[in-house]
Amino acid sequence: MSWEVMAAEQLAWGVMEEGWRKGPWTAEEDRLLIEYVKLHGEGRWNSVARLAGLKRNGKSCRLRWVNYLRPDLKRGQITPHEEKVILELHARWGNRWSTIARSLPGRTDNEIKNYWRTHFKKKAKVSSDNSEKSKARLLRRQQFQQQQLLQQQQQQQQQTQVFDMRRLMSLLDENENRVPTLPQMKQDASAAATPIFPNTIDDHHQVFLYSVFNNSAALPEATNHDQDINWDGLWNMDEFSGNIYYSNSANRATLRTSAATPYY
DNA sequence: AATAACTCCAACCGCGTCTCT
DNA sequence: AAGAGACGCGGTTGGAGTTAT
């Protein structure tokens, strides 16, 4: 092979390995492959190089035909209906892309696989992260329950004020949609300047509510994720006390539903 | 305007299964 | 029955294009 030919092949960046070309296909190679299939039909891919004059191995030819040149391929974006089918079939079959592709005429396993990876895999990861979060939440809830138990015992011993959960629930009902942001809550509750729940809740209950929302007896430093923390607390509250959450706010129930909706 | 980050997708690779001799 | 080659599948890579900062 002359150096000119070698240089030309480098420029076309078709890599030659053991005599086989690799990398992107040229229009001429496509034409030769289409001609070959017209004459000999699909299959016998290892004969393509010899019969069609292509410097491609059989595997590469088959892949190019199946994923790109086949005339029955459907071009264009995956439709919402196709996406639905992919989701349903993936839930049933897992990563059996060729099986899924059989239910989507004109789509290749490679195309579906790529679509899944780019559109759903990341969301699945987020979902798994959420599952980690819910484990941590469970742990926090258990700690919180222990803490409450301890508190109650101490309070009974000292015969001091007893927290009445029913009272708190009704207070929450009365103050529907008034869930404050954390900095507001922290500032107001600790300073006891302006009541957060102006209707009825006294300073003592404000601090307690803050701790319920945040599963913490102490007031933490302000954070940039105030809303997250507050709603996190609400999820826990729901799990912890039964139906506080549902009885509390239709809006929050809607939010909860949307947050709990599984996605891929 | 530059560039970093992200998305898309064609193509490759390794391996398991099938088919033929 | 066994070995070799062909085929098919799922995972991965890397370049091009697009979007965000």
Q: Is A23 near strand B, with its CB below 7 A from some atom of it?
A: yes
DSSP state of A77: P
Query: Looking at residue A155, what is its pLDDT?
Result: 52
For A119-129, give one letter per residue: b (16+ CB within 10 A) or e: ebeeeeeeeee
Contact A221, A232 (CB under 8 A): no
Query: Looking at residue A124, what is its pLDDT?
Result: 56
Q: How confident is the model at residue A154 (pLDDT cuts 50, 70, 90)?
A: low
**Closest-approach nucleotide to residue A114, Cα vs C1':** B9
Q: Is A65 near strand B, with its CB below 7 A from some atom of it?
A: no
Q: How confident is the model at residue A177 (pLDDT cuts 50, 70, 90)?
A: very low
Q: Tell me, in Å, how far CA of A95 is from C1' of C10?
A: 8
Contact A113, A96 (CB under 8 A): no
Structure tokens at A182: 């954390």
Closest CA to A246 of A144, A107, A238: A238
Query: Looking at residue A214, what is its pLDDT?
Result: 36
Query: Looking at residue A118, what is its pLDDT?
Result: 81
Identify the three-state secondary structure at position A14: coil
At residue A64, does pLDDT exceed 50? Answer: yes
Mean pLDDT score, A139-154: 49
Closest CA to A108 of A98, A117, A118: A98
Contact A120, A218 (CB under 8 A): no
Spell out the domains of chain A, with CATH numbers in brackets: 3-69 (1.10.10.60), 80-120 (1.10.10.60), 163-260 (no CATH)
A33-62 residues near strand B (Cβ < 7 Å): 59-60
What tens digit of pLDDT does each residue of A196-208 get? Answer: 333 333 333 343 3
Query: Looking at residue A87, what is its pLDDT?
Result: 85
Residues near A262 by beta carbon (within 8 Å), at least 6 away in sequence: A127
